[in-house]
Amino acid sequence: MFKTRGFGGALILTVVATATLLADHLGFKGSTYPVSGAPRAVVAADLDDDGKVDFASADMLSNTVTLYRGEPGPEGRATPTEWGVLPLPSGAGPFDIKAADLNRDGNNDLIVANADNNTVSIFAGGDDVPPALQATVDVGGSPRGVVAVDLNRDGQLDLAVTGANCNCLTVLRNGGGFTFAQAARITGLISFRRGSCLRERRDPHLAVTKILEEA
Ligand SMILES: [Ca+2]
Ligand SMILES: [Ca+2]
Ligand SMILES: [Ca+2]
C-alpha cells in the first residue's frame, strides 16, 4: 500500500507503475534485499572474481556498505546472499558507490564517495573474499559522485569526484598501489548540489572527459 502526499507521492506512484510494467514486459521478477540503513546508491559487479555478479549498497545513515554475494541458484542464476557489512568512518554519509579494478589485479574494487566527511573510501577486491578497506583519500567539497576512468591515458584508472559544496570536479590521479593524489580541481562549471551529474549521464566516462576538455 502506498501513501501519497501531493505531487511527490503521485510522482513516486508513476515511477513504480512504469517500472513494474517494464519489468513485466521484459519478464523480470523483482526481489527485495535488506541493507543496513538508508541506501543512497548501489553497484552490481563481480567483486570476488568467481564469475557471478555481486552487489554493494552505500548506506547513508548507518555509514556502511552492505554486501550481497551472487551464489549459485536455480537454473544457473546467481542468487544474492548476505556477504557482510563494511564499516565506513563515523559520519561519512556515503552518497555514491562504484566498482572498478583500480590496481589492475583482475579484481574489481569498490570506491565510495563520502559526502559528510569529505573523503573517498577504497576497498580492494580479492579472490573469493569480500572487499577490504585499502585506503581513505581526502577530497573535500562534500563528494557526491565518483567515476573511475583513465584520464591521463597511462593505463591506470583515475578518479573524478563531484563536490556539492565546492561546485567542482576533483581529479585524483592513480599513482599505483591504491595511492591517489589530487591532480586538478575544476570549479564553477556545473551545479552538483542536487546530486551527481556523473550518475545521470549515459556514459560517465565521456561526460568527465568532456568536462575536462571544456575546462
Ligand atoms: Ca562474485
Ligand atoms: Ca583490483
Ligand atoms: Ca591514469
Closest ligand, as measured to the CA of 124: 2
pLDDT per position as a tens digit, 15-47: 344 445 555 666 667 788 888 888 999 999 999
Give the closest ligand to the alpha carbon of residue 160. Answer: 3
Top pLDDT among 209 and 37 is at 37
Instruction: Give one DSSP letter per residue of 25-69, joined into a string.
Output: HHT--------SS-EEEEEEE-SSSSSS-EEEEEETTTTEEEEEE
Report the C-alpha gap between 114 and 144 in whole angstroms.
7
Beta strand 129-138 with 64-72 is unpaired
| Ligand 3 midpoint to CA 32 (Å) | 37
Q: Which residue do the cell numbers 561546485 mark?
A: 167
127 CA distance to ligand 2 centroid (A)?
10
Tell me the per-residue pLDDT of 42-93, one tens digit each, with 9 for 90 and over. Answer: 999 999 999 999 999 999 999 999 999 999 888 777 789 999 999 999 999 9
Regarding pTM above 0.85, the answer is: no
Ligand nearest to the Cα of 127, by number: 1
Residue 51 CA, ligand 1 centroid: distance in Å: 6
Distance CA 55, CA 69 (A): 7
Burial (CB count within 10 angstroms: exposed 0-12, middle 13-18, buried 19+), residue 69: buried
Ligand 3 center to 169 CA (angstroms): 16
Residue pair 140/196 in contact by the 8 Å Cβ criterion: no
